[in-house]
Chain A
Amino acid sequence: MKFVSAARLRRAQERVIAARPYARHITEVLKSLAGRVPEDAHPLLAHREKVEKIELVVITADRGMCGAYNTNIIRSALEFLGDHSDKTVELNILGKRARDFFRRRPYPVRSEAVNELQNLTFADAAAITKTLIDDFCNGETDEIWLLYNEFKSVVQQRIVRERLLPIEHIENPDSDKTLEYIYDEPPEKIFAGLLPRSVEAQVFRALLEAAASEHGARMSAMEAATNNAAEMIDGLTLYANKIRQAGITRELIEVVSGAGQ
């Protein structure tokens, strides 16, 4: 089992790494544009004055056997619900574990999806993002947060709680201001086209990170299980040998004392 997870982990890790250049470049382009476009130029940037409704996207695994991975996320989701108890928080659930947990509890669930993380494509992430963006733009919700495990290393996952929408104000570093761009189209239009893409990239990254951490967590859980089993086998072997020897000794005593009479 450990090796199965190890193989899956390697693949998941490669995907996380392969997705990084896109995310990096899109942020760079956005940064260089940010200074030239008014801050509230796009609805995705607009901060609502009164935040009353929040959507939380919780990403867990579909299967167990991965240590505290799922429990940690669910606990963190409950904390989030506690922190925002004065507002309406609706959950968007990805993963069987969270679905099963929240199904039995009285929290409003807006959407749920299972088995998304296996064979995840960018198109899946884009579809999820589109629903979220629509909800935000229609005023169904004032803020959208993501909750997932970030892949630090095989034995370490970090729970990340980050705001997806509205997009944080993007700082424009001064060094970029010296560059005069030619725009093939009005900068506002290009900006409007780029923003949803960058949100998609963020969701995609979160899902990939979650998948990689899941495999990492499962791999260490399986390794721990193998080690524990080895310890238990040692203990049981010793116990079995002791009983066997006690039996032999008893029989010998019986034979010897029988022969003496």
Chain B
Amino acid sequence: MAIPEKIHLEIVTADKQVFSGDVDSIIVPALTGYLGILPGHAPLLAELGIGEIIFKSGETMEDVFCSWGFIEVLPGRVVILAQTAELSSDIDLKRAEEAKTRAEKLLKSGDPNVDYAATELAMMRAISRIQAAKNVTLRRPHK
């Protein structure tokens, strides 16, 4: 059986479809570590954590911030059900940086009332958001 050249990727969240289109490769933040998916991948089901979904189509690369979700790989088709997914162009970098500083301050404060687990997650989300937003800015071709 010939291996297909493209994968049809759909990224959906509860309130909208974030992305739908054919891509060459996908990298997703599974709970057990980042997973790479190329065309012809065997069917797979995994849970996603906080991180970036990176997919490549020709020369263009797109970063999507993702926090929690599921990925289902089917022959020729990949569906990502994410709790949050934001295209890098939609990320509010300033807000993410503020969130990071806020989380850092809370973590360093030593205040017993702080919910450390939640703050740490907030921090991870902020960092991933910033990375997702910045990666694309770096990769955008200079003219």
Interface residues in chain A, defined as those with a beta carbon under 8 Å from any beta carbon in chain B? 15, 18-19, 21-22, 25-26, 28-29, 32-33, 121-122, 125, 179-185, 187, 189-190, 193-194, 197, 200-201, 204
Known: A29-B79, A184-B30, A184-B35. A19 touches B43 (CB 8 A): no
Report how far A19 CA is from B17 CA in the complex, Å.
8
Check A18–B32 contact: CB distance below 8 A.
Answer: no
Check A193–B81 contact: CB distance below 8 A.
Answer: no
Give chain A residues whose Cβ lies under 8 Å from the Cβ of B79: 25, 28-29
Check A185–B31 contact: CB distance below 8 A.
Answer: yes
Report how far A22 CA is from B15 CA in the complex, Å.
8
Q: Within the complex, which residue of A179, A180, A193, A200 is in contact with B47, where a contact is CB–CB below 8 Å?
A: A193
Which of B15, B75, B79 neighbours the largest number of chain A CB atoms within 10 Å of its CB?
Answer: B15
Check B47–A21 contact: CB distance below 8 A.
Answer: no
Please classify how large the interface on chain B is, using the bins under 10, 10 to 19, 20 to 34, 35 or more: 20 to 34
Is B16 in contact with chain A by the CB < 8 A criterion? yes
Check A197–B35 contact: CB distance below 8 A.
Answer: no
Is B10 in contact with chain A by the CB < 8 A criterion? yes
Check B47–A190 contact: CB distance below 8 A.
Answer: yes
A-B contact pairs, 13 of them (CB 8 A): A18-B17, A22-B12, A22-B13, A25-B79, A122-B13, A122-B15, A179-B43, A179-B75, A187-B45, A189-B47, A193-B70, A197-B83, A204-B15
Q: How far is the CB of A12 from chain B (nearest CB, A)?
A: 12
Report how far A201 CA is from B14 CA in the complex, Å.
7
Chain B, Cβ-Cβ closest to A26: B81
